[in-house]
Amino acid sequence: MDDNRTALTADSLFWVPPERPSGPPQLDFPPVRNGIDYLASVVEHLDESASDVGPRDLKYAVLHLQAAVEVLLKARLQREHWSLVFKDPGRATRKDFESGDFESCGTDAAVERLRDIAGIAIDRKEAEALKDLAKDRNALQHYGLTHNAHAVEARAGRVLDFLMRFLYEQLLPLLQGPERERAWLDMVPVDAGVKNISSYVKRRLNRLRGELAGRESQTIMCPHCEQMTLFVAPHSGDCCFCGASWNSAELLAFDYLGCSDGQLALRFPCPHCDTAAFVEGINFADGTRLSDTLYCFGCSARHEARDLATCAGCSRPWPVDADANRLGPTLCPDCWHQTAPEDVA
Ligand SMILES: [Zn+2]
Ligand SMILES: [Zn+2]
Ligand SMILES: [Zn+2]
């Protein structure tokens, strides 16, 4: 990772005049790509799966996160109107804008303008997190890491959560053509990396807890990101953490059996809908460990294991009456038909 990037301020990289393609190659970054590039560096430094986050990692993560904030907020403002990135839009001229020779607005002003002019919802807590990050950045730049590293990391996680959402909701949908393709490609390592950042993950899960409230009995571990954020419905599953989704009960059951929560689970054909997605041993977010309950990813049927008998013919579980004779071999209706067709006729 090239830390020389910090020697340049976000502003100096912000505007690249299109009519000067022969400029220095290190400045050949349109704003959104440039912001994503800073984010990629943040994610690289905070990724806990690679190595522990040391003081130096945290320093560059905060410096580059602040740069990403400035570049991306202004990129969105610029889509509203180019004069809005000037410190004083009333004195903005097209000529200064195109030459990049102007004093641009600060983060606080950018947030205010995004709210008041672009109508983008940025709540008080998010605005405060952005302010705190700016303070951390200044302190780090001048004195190095003097604050509690965990607190700095947690604050960075809050801003990262905001910025990822801002990108996906406010910026990426506005891009078109090659710029759009390029940005989505550049986001691949960022998306992969943020999942390994605990300060970000914690923040994100806190926010999603509200979204999943009341649906805990239908929420299980996502086989993709292994967070308890997969909402299941008949023949489908949608993860609100990583966005993974399934529209096949069989595939979802298969993938669930491969994740850490599903390793002890067993899969059978469902006695109701026949889908091979009737699973024993699913963990639901409401705390029910369904080791003695079976759930069908196809039709959402639930059965307690004690209300089910195992067919002596095909070993699939099937529901029996509480008072039925459970002793001796039992057969499911299908096997019964096959072994004694004349009885059925
Ligand atoms: Zn997921
Ligand atoms: Zn079923
Ligand atoms: Zn059977």
Strand order in the sheet with 236-239: 219-220, 230-233, 236-239, 245-246
Q: Which pLDDT value is given to residue 1? A: 40
Residue-wise pLDDT tens digits, 60-112: 999 999 999 999 999 999 989 999 999 999 999 999 988 888 999 999 999 99
Cβ partners under 8 Å of residue 145, min gap 6: 55, 58, 59, 152
Which ligand sits nearest to residue 298's alpha carbon? 2
| Average predicted confidence (pLDDT) for the chain | 83
Protein residues within 5 Å, CB atom, of ion ligand 3: 311, 313-314, 332, 335
Rounded to two decimals, the pTM is 0.65
Find, among 235, 310, 237, 232, the residue nearest to 271 by Cα. Answer: 310
Q: How far apart are CA 4 and CA 299, in angstroms?
A: 56
Which ligand sits nearest to residue 313's alpha carbon? 3
**DSSP-derived 3-state class of residue 284:** strand
Residue-wise pLDDT tens digits, 103-149: 999 999 999 999 999 999 998 889 999 999 998 898 888 887 776 77
Cβ partners under 8 Å of residue 22, min gap 6: none
Alpha-carbon dihedral sign for residues 110, 20, 18, 61: negative
Q: Evaluate if residue 345 carries a pLDDT over 50.
A: no
* Residue, of 205 and 66, whose pLDDT is higher: 66
Residue-wise pLDDT tens digits, 215-257: 988 999 998 878 889 999 999 999 988 788 999 999 999 999 9
Q: What is the DSSP string of 246-262?
A: E--HHHHHHHHHHSGGG
Lowest mean pLDDT segment, chosen from 17-26, 180-189, 292-301, 320-329: 17-26
What's the 231 CA to ligand 1 centre distance in angstroms? Answer: 10
Which ligand sits nearest to residue 299's alpha carbon? 2
Q: Which pLDDT value is given to residue 322? A: 53
Which ligand sits nearest to residue 230's alpha carbon? 1
Which ligand sits nearest to residue 220's alpha carbon? 1
What's the 228 CA to ligand 2 centre distance in angstroms? Answer: 22
Position 195 confidence tier, pLDDT thresholds 50, 70, 90: confident
Q: Evaluate if residue 6 carries a pLDDT over 70.
A: no
Return left, alpha or beta for 235; rule: phi > 0 is left, psi -120 to 50 is alpha, else beta.
Answer: left
Q: Evaluate if residue 57 carries a pLDDT over 60.
A: yes
The single-letter DSSP state of residue 177 is: H
